[in-house]
Amino acid sequence: MSVVSREKVQLIAASLKAAGKTVVFTNGCFDILHVGHVRYLTAARNQGDCLIVGLNTDQSVRILKGPTRPVNNENDRAEVLSALSVVDYVVLFGENTASELVEVIQPTIYVKGGDYAVAELPEAEAVAKHGGKIVLVPMVEGRSSTQIINKIKA
């Protein structure tokens, strides 16, 4: 359970796959961790032997969510994620999509939330290129960081 560099995660994933292990990869902002995140990450981890989480940098979160986000900085978000027993490794990324990380990690399984469609995932091509499969995990209704922020503001 640790935060690792892109170079280190590439070596880890290659070593695990060479040993016949199933490497699972997912990504997100994980700004204010809530039960929906925990259930999602648990479901992702249950897909294989090792869960690697790609975590959006602060700059990329601002692009995706707006200038007032993230609430928690990338180092804090990474530390919280890495403390979860279901998460094996966390790697930061600043690109608009996780396609480059998919190329680096070459996961056996790529997991995204059920609010996505496989055909719409920019990472789908990279996953298929390396023989991986995509699993969509159902969302936990009524649970999101944005909803929590709005509730606090109300």
What global pTM score does this model have?
A: 0.92
Domain borders along the chain are 2-153
pLDDT at 146 exceeding the cut of 80: no
Candidates 3.40.50.620, 3.40.50.300, 2.70.98.10, 3.40.50.2300; correct CATH number of 2-153?
3.40.50.620
Using CA atoms, how far apart are residues 100 and 97, in angstroms rounded to an integer?
Answer: 8
pLDDT tens profile 38-92 = 999 999 999 999 999 999 999 999 999 899 899 999 999 999 999 999 999 999 9
